[in-house]
Structure 1
Amino acid sequence: MPTGPTDSTPGQDRWQLHSIYPGLASEAFLGDLAELDRKLAELREILERHEYRALQSDATSRNLFCQELPGILTGINALRDLYEQLEHYCYAVYSTATTGEEALRTLNAVTKRSVPLAEITVRFRQGLSQVSSRDLTSAARESPLIEGALLFLQEERDLATHQMSLTEESLAAELARPGADAWSRLQETIASSLRVPWEGEQELTMVEIRNLASDADRGLRRRAWKAECDAWRSMELPLSYALNGVKGASSALDQRRGWQDTLERSLHQNRLSRKSLESLVTAMRAALPLFRRYLRAKAAFLGIERLSFYDLAAPVGTPPQRISLPGALDQISQIFASFDPALGDFVLELRDKHWIDAETRSGKVGGAYCMDFPLARESRILINFDGSWDSLSTLAHELGHAWHSHVLKDLPSSERRYPMILAETASLFCEHLVFEASRSQGTPGQQLFILDQFLQSATQIIVDILSRFEFESALIARRAEGELSPGTLNELMLTAQRRTYGEALNSRELHPYMWAVKSHYYRADLAFYNYPYAFGQLFALALFRQNHQHPRSFPDRYRDLLGETGRCSAAAIASRVGADLETVSFWEGPLQEIQGLVCIFEDLLPGAPSLQSPGV
């Protein structure tokens, strides 16, 4: 593998990274790595000095920490920006060529610094724990930096009660690299390099075989589903060990750190109250009959008694013509510009600077992601783009993430750390912009197709996400009792799918290996990486309603909301648009919007009977 990524040129659907670093062995990269070591040592020395003062029971030590807090926070921000820049660059190179040895070796070298970084974080939190709320508020009045970072500092101080001793936290960080993090990379490597036998001697990547789920030929979809499940079955043992390793490690650490349960940690990370999540889940469960109604209507149109898992993405209507990446970016830019001209221009900037890697190829991870580079103040988007409507929608989703980062790029790290629920709100809002602009265009068949694509996505985000939430809840509970076999993991997944999809899907043809497919389960640092999508979908729809009501003023308000996501809780952001996240009725509002679209879908289906039932 070369020492750096190949620069993109016009006509290539690959990103360029040279504006971040020329390569993994470049002077700029190695110089920043050395600078990271210097900053780690410098900040450690400062925090150790404060620790020594505190041990002397010096009454002035707390005041001194508070007085020096702006300087310490500036150092923390600089350190985190530099670490993220280096780590994200290594991962960007690695994720497009997971079999490359140099990228993995360099990524390991960078993440090795996470151990001293974790030690600094522990010391920083210990210092903050000595500062009273009154003193912190007083410091905020004197320092704009502290004022902007007040929520971050309060959270870090709270986390001091959820951390082990310095020695234990240091050991945990060191063991994570060959432990949970390595298990996570194993899943990524297997998923990105696994070849699936197909139709004789041909082999497809997992991304290619999963893309066949949207083929119009039901027989082909079923064969692809079976081939996919067989491929995952061939890797079920190492993947089950990986999942057991990740969940076992994270659960043990959650217990040691004094969390009530893993969900409590997730809620803290998302700045969300348990009551808000309970209200969201209650509304999702109450809406299951609505989505089953949509699935029954789709089955009736396809001429089958009930859908199987491989029918969920079956096309209805006439797909729009496949589009090139430049064409997709032009189309999305025009749609975004009709909402906010600056957002439309931003898309063109990403296109012109080649910040998107869209080509599907062996060794590249599946799915899509957006990653920011804080020192360069740039983002990169990885997507496996095939020109379909689904790819267009996914591209809009990732561009929403990039725009979110762009709005925040000039703020310090302590004011940019927004929770996943608000990250997914930003991305799904942009995705919905494209849907709303496209649903009335084209032929009636194309309009039906686009509407079905939205309802497919909504079903994924409400019904399937609920199944993932229930699966992960059961997984964590069972993992506390011991390791789970592949067969047990399959049964837990099937149980969750039966509970959410209900009679709308053929219970004999579900997807037992979704635990192997979704990399989210293999993140030790982000448990329950599922409900944020449901939150984001419904909150984005609520925001979109406000856009309809106030089309002139809302784009600026929306940009202001994004700018506050690193400084406010979810409840505070919601309150700015008059929303109460802890009430079930708030979540029912966006779900009623989806119900209206299901009614339109039923009316558009040629010859499909009304499948409404009382109360649905």
Structure 2
Amino acid sequence: MGIGSESSPVRAPDETAGQETAALPRWDLRSVYTSFDAPEYSRDKELIEKKAGRLLDLLSEPMPANGEEAADYILSLIHAYEEAGDIGENLEAYASAVFTTDTGSSRALNEVNALETLLLPLGKAIVTFRSKLAAEKEKIFSFLENDPRYKPYVFFLREAIAKAEYQMAPEMEDLANDLARSGGDAWGRLQEAISSSADTLWDRNTGERKTVIALRDLAHNPDRMVRRRAYEAELGVWKSMEIPMAAALNGVKGTAITVDKRRGWKTALEKSLFQSRISGKTFLALIASLENSLPMFRQYLKTKAKILGIDSCAFYDLFAPVGTSGKKWTWDEAKEFIIRHFASFDSGMGIFARHAFEFSWIDAEGRNGKVGGAYCTDFPLTGESRILCNFEGSFDSVTTVAHELGHAWHHELIKDLPRTQSSYPMTLAETASIFAETVVFEAAMKEAPAAERLGLIEGSIKDSCQVIVDILSRFYFERELFQRREKGELSPAELCDIMTEAQKATYGGGLDETLLHPYMWAVKGHYYSPALAFYNYPYAFGQLFSLGLYAKAKEEGPGFADSYRTLLRETGRSSAEQVARLAGFDLEDTAFWDSGMAVIRQRIAEFEDLANPAK
């Protein structure tokens, strides 16, 4: 689907007062494909079959004995892999974009399913490609050392050979990919369909119904009674859907456990660290920093409770507004603000953002059948991106747009690189997005009237609380889920218990432990990807890494923009540790993560001062 944001619940404008839905844009996909019936779409479907077949034919040929011919042969494999991969990604991204804005479309769902079938030969070819590289690794390593043509492919080839150690025989991988269409992937689509459409009666007098997306939006309502009512209604919806949702989660995790074991992974976490391109030491340093920060966030939540005039915050108070409500942003105001402040950091970044707005790259209108949340997806054949969000006029929604535009800017900087040098991991995927979000937040803090500063800074801390505290709770939940799922399926009650215990372990005394959210396992689609377990800690990684980069940008001034571009271009051809070293950071040292956390600590201190002006 693309790279998504992780912040407060995303709102559906068509169910939120105060914003003209008609004024909000829908994206224009016609430069990619005009429709599923377009000749270009049919052409690329035929082309991917030919390209995947060509790659398989090449792979069936024996490795030439002659050294120069062997080097040429491997390069031909790489180029064939790149061509087929780009076409396949373009098709998948388009079908997913159409489906996620209209999950009730049977045509879109059929196309998603058809592409999964169509791309099976490419999946087989990729597995065979890695196996061939591993079998000839001594020759490959010789080429890397002696043939200058191989210099751009050093990281890709070494990683591909390492991946080959964790895959089954090609025919078994082919079977696993085929079964995934009606197995783990289908369970994931079930969660997506339910979470985008499940609703409940809200107003008996008018017959108004609200989806769970709209109910979660009401967590931002200034009236605590409304927040609590929405929270209880949301839990009721999830309760009514808990059996299919639990079946989906058990199916996804059961699939992942079975297939990962066959591939040789000891645990899902081991696989996740490999996918994230980070060492175990980096991961432990990050988690230690998150855990050390918990008292700071609990104190923040206690201060928030005092401001709200309550004994302690409930889960439905996490997004309650604090301070003045601030301005209601129009789409045009958000657009110009983002463009102006992107440009203040890097003129090219501002020009790019204006292009994205003016050429309808953003789908901001909330509507029934459109998924919640936000994401950015890329189309390699056109070199373009598209952004899905649900804009409703708050500053949170402004920063969400900035976040996703950060992802798009990242893609813009690497779109000229082949896919063997531009495929970056989740950990580094959040770098550009959170950096862009920070640029916009810091600008807003400088320009806001004194009366609005409390609300703005609390909004930033609130989002950090989600990315640090809630993300850690989700990591704890998923770790426990994998351990238990190995022994058998879990009931909805067990899943709720695990989630509640994870929230208690992280939020601690910061929240009322009788008013948590036991169904967060059903809310978050990140749990429902068989291929990407632990789709959580990379957000915390991205937040703290980006804060470190932003601090460095302030220290170095305008010249940092060029260094930042260089760093982003390396994200697809280096480990996370290597990329960080370009900025002078040591990811395996807890002190680095603590330095990023210090930026949040400073914001919390300012929040405390603003909340207690007489202190």
What interval of TM-score do these two structures reach, taking the shorter chain for normalisation?
over 0.9
Deviates further, 149-158 or 511-520: 149-158
Cα distance 1:406–1:213, how it changes in 2: closer, same or farther (>3 A)? same
* 1:390 is aligned to 2:396: yes
1:445 maps to what in 2?
451
Cα distance 1:509–1:134, how it changes in 2: closer, same or farther (>3 A)? same
In structure 2, what is the Cα distance between the partners aligned to 1:136 and 1:260? Answer: 27
SS of corresponding position for 2:531: coil
Cα distance 1:427–1:315, how it changes in 2: closer, same or farther (>3 A)? same
- Once the two structures are TM-superposed, the CA of residue 62 in structure 1 deviates from its matched residue by 8.1
Q: Please, what is the CA RMSD of the aligned residues?
A: 1.6
2:188 maps to what in 1?
184
The amino acid that maps onto 2:551 is R
Contact 1:140 1:150 in 2 (8 A): no
2:228 maps to what in 1?
222
2:413 pairs with one of 386, 389, 407:
407
Contact 1:300 1:608 in 2 (8 A): no
* 1:24 is aligned to 2:36: yes
1:164 maps to what in 2?
168
2:375 pairs with one of 361, 369, 373:
369
* Paired residues for 1:229-268 under 5 Å: 229-268=235-274
2:430 maps to what in 1?
424
In structure 1, what is the Cα distance between the partners aligned to 2:67 and 2:85? Answer: 24
The amino acid that maps onto 1:336 is F
**Mind listing any 5+ residue stretches in structure 2 that lack a counterpart?**
1-20
Cα distance 1:133–1:334, how it changes in 2: closer, same or farther (>3 A)? farther
In structure 1, what is the Cα distance between the partners aligned to 2:143 and 2:67? Answer: 13
Cα distance 1:76–1:10, how it changes in 2: closer, same or farther (>3 A)? farther
- Once the two structures are TM-superposed, the CA of residue 411 in structure 1 deviates from its matched residue by 0.6
1:149 maps to what in 2?
153
2:48 maps to what in 1?
36
In structure 2, what is the Cα distance between the partners aligned to 1:473 and 1:10? Answer: 43
In structure 2, what is the Cα distance between the partners aligned to 1:20 and 1:140? Answer: 39
Q: Which structure has the higher relative contact order (CA within 8 Å, separation 6+)?
A: 2
In structure 2, what is the Cα distance between the partners aligned to 1:171 and 1:276? Answer: 35
Alpha-carbon displacement from aligned partner over 1:76-126 (angstroms, at most 9, x marks no partner): 001000000001101111111101011111111111123211210111011
* 1:104 is aligned to 2:109: yes
1:581 maps to what in 2?
587
The amino acid that maps onto 2:254 is G
2:126 maps to what in 1?
121
The amino acid that maps onto 1:513 is Y
1:213 maps to what in 2?
219
Contact 1:215 1:314 in 2 (8 A): yes
Cα distance 1:599–1:127, how it changes in 2: closer, same or farther (>3 A)? same
- Once the two structures are TM-superposed, the CA of residue 202 in structure 1 deviates from its matched residue by 1.2
* Paired residues for 1:274-313 under 5 Å: 274-313=280-319
Contact 1:66 1:139 in 2 (8 A): no
In structure 2, what is the Cα distance between the partners aligned to 1:12 and 1:263? Answer: 40
In structure 2, what is the Cα distance between the partners aligned to 1:298 and 1:97? Answer: 38
In structure 2, what is the Cα distance between the partners aligned to 1:134 and 1:165? Answer: 22
SS of corresponding position for 2:558: coil
Cα distance 1:582–1:134, how it changes in 2: closer, same or farther (>3 A)? farther
Contact 1:297 1:608 in 2 (8 A): no
* Paired residues for 1:424-573 under 5 Å: 424-573=430-579
In structure 2, what is the Cα distance between the partners aligned to 1:157 and 1:331? Answer: 46
Deviates further, 458-467 or 588-597: 588-597
Contact 1:187 1:522 in 2 (8 A): yes
The amino acid that maps onto 2:313 is L
The amino acid that maps onto 1:111 is E
TM-score (norm 1): 0.94
In structure 2, what is the Cα distance between the partners aligned to 1:444 and 1:215? Answer: 22
2:74 pairs with one of 49, 69, 72:
69
Contact 2:144 2:154 in 1 (8 A): no
- Once the two structures are TM-superposed, the CA of residue 311 in structure 1 deviates from its matched residue by 0.4
2:58 maps to what in 1?
46
In structure 1, what is the Cα distance between the partners aligned to 2:538 and 2:75? Answer: 32
* Paired residues for 1:320-339 under 5 Å: 320-339=326-345
- Once the two structures are TM-superposed, the CA of residue 440 in structure 1 deviates from its matched residue by 2.7
The amino acid that maps onto 2:436 is C
Contact 2:137 2:161 in 1 (8 A): no
In structure 1, what is the Cα distance between the partners aligned to 2:613 and 2:421? Answer: 54
Alpha-carbon displacement from aligned partner over 1:515-566 (angstroms, at most 9, x marks no partner): 0000000011111000000000000011011101101211110011001110
In structure 2, what is the Cα distance between the partners aligned to 1:605 and 1:272? Answer: 39
In structure 2, what is the Cα distance between the partners aligned to 1:470 and 1:10? Answer: 42
- Once the two structures are TM-superposed, the CA of residue 325 in structure 1 deviates from its matched residue by 2.0
- Once the two structures are TM-superposed, the CA of residue 132 in structure 1 deviates from its matched residue by 3.2
2:17 maps to what in 1?
none
In structure 2, what is the Cα distance between the partners aligned to 1:143 and 1:189? Answer: 49
In structure 1, what is the Cα distance between the partners aligned to 2:23 and 2:357? Answer: 11
Alpha-carbon displacement from aligned partner over 1:147-193 (angstroms, at most 9, x marks no partner): 22211111111111111111111100000001000000000000111
Contact 1:14 1:356 in 2 (8 A): yes
Alpha-carbon displacement from aligned partner over 1:283-328 (angstroms, at most 9, x marks no partner): 1101100111111111111111110000011111112222222321
- Once the two structures are TM-superposed, the CA of residue 141 in structure 1 deviates from its matched residue by 4.8
SS of corresponding position for 1:380: strand
In structure 2, what is the Cα distance between the partners aligned to 1:69 and 1:61? Answer: 12
**Mind listing any 5+ residue stretches in structure 1 that lack a counterpart?**
1-8, 610-616
Deviates further, 61-70 or 191-200: 61-70
Cα distance 1:589–1:38, how it changes in 2: closer, same or farther (>3 A)? same
In structure 2, what is the Cα distance between the partners aligned to 1:366 and 1:108? Answer: 21
Q: Percent identity?
A: 44
Cα distance 1:38–1:495, how it changes in 2: closer, same or farther (>3 A)? same
Contact 2:104 2:369 in 1 (8 A): yes
The amino acid that maps onto 2:228 is R
- Once the two structures are TM-superposed, the CA of residue 219 in structure 1 deviates from its matched residue by 0.6
SS of corresponding position for 1:203: strand
May I ask how many residue pairs the two structures share in their alignment? Answer: 593
- Once the two structures are TM-superposed, the CA of residue 136 in structure 1 deviates from its matched residue by 2.8
SS of corresponding position for 1:381: strand
SS of corresponding position for 1:477: helix
2:352 maps to what in 1?
346
1:86 pairs with one of 83, 86, 91:
91
Cα distance 1:61–1:165, how it changes in 2: closer, same or farther (>3 A)? farther
Contact 1:269 1:419 in 2 (8 A): yes
Contact 1:468 1:496 in 2 (8 A): yes
